[in-house]
Amino acid sequence: MLRMTVYLGETDLYHHHPVFTEIVHRAHRAGLAGASVFRGIEGFGATSLIHTTRLLDLAEDLPVAVVIIDEEQRVRDFLPQAEEVVTQGLITLDPVEVVTHRIGPGPAERGKAG
């Protein structure tokens, strides 16, 4: 298994849409196992400007991480699509050992008594 993490600013755009949204939608269309977006509360990147939720005037362009985990070849095949939309940011790949992957009942099944 391989994890792709894309580090961005939340205001980064691709064709007038957030880059993180574009990556998630492309991953979904590519049939990847899943993608999650995590919004940071504080951070800095290449510009060395600290963005934080603690100060209202610096609460713009907070850090965002898009995380995708799937079979190594599927992630590597998707990599060019992520690279296409990331004009500034960082993409990393890490091997991952999946210890547990549980899939619970769907929404229709949760309400049924058993």
Range of the domain at 73: 2-97
Cα–Cα nearest to 32, from 40, 24, 43:
24
Q: Give the end-to-end CA distance of the chain in Å, rounded to a whole number.
A: 35
Specify the pLDDT at position 6: 98
Output b/e per residue, 72-105; b: 16+ Cβ within 10 A. eebbeebeeebeebbeebeeeeeeeeeeeeeeee
CB of 5 closer than 8 Å to CB of 92 = yes
Specify the pLDDT at position 22: 98
CB of 94 closer than 8 Å to CB of 2 = yes
Residue 9 forms part of a structural domain: yes
Residue 11 forms part of a structural domain: yes
Residue 105 forms part of a structural domain: no
Q: What is the CATH number of the domain that holds 30?
A: 3.30.70.120
Residue 107 forms part of a structural domain: no
Residue 114 forms part of a structural domain: no
Specify the pLDDT at position 51: 64
**Count of the separate structural domains present in the chain:** 1
Residue 75 forms part of a structural domain: yes
Specify the pLDDT at position 112: 62
pTM: 0.81
- Reading the chain (114 residues) residue by residue, the pLDDT tens digits are 999 999 998 899 999 999 999 999 999 999 999 999 999 877 777 666 666 665 555 556 788 999 999 999 999 999 999 999 999 999 999 999 999 988 888 666 666 655
Specify the pLDDT at position 109: 64
Cα–Cα nearest to 40, from 8, 12, 71, 69:
8
Residue 23 forms part of a structural domain: yes
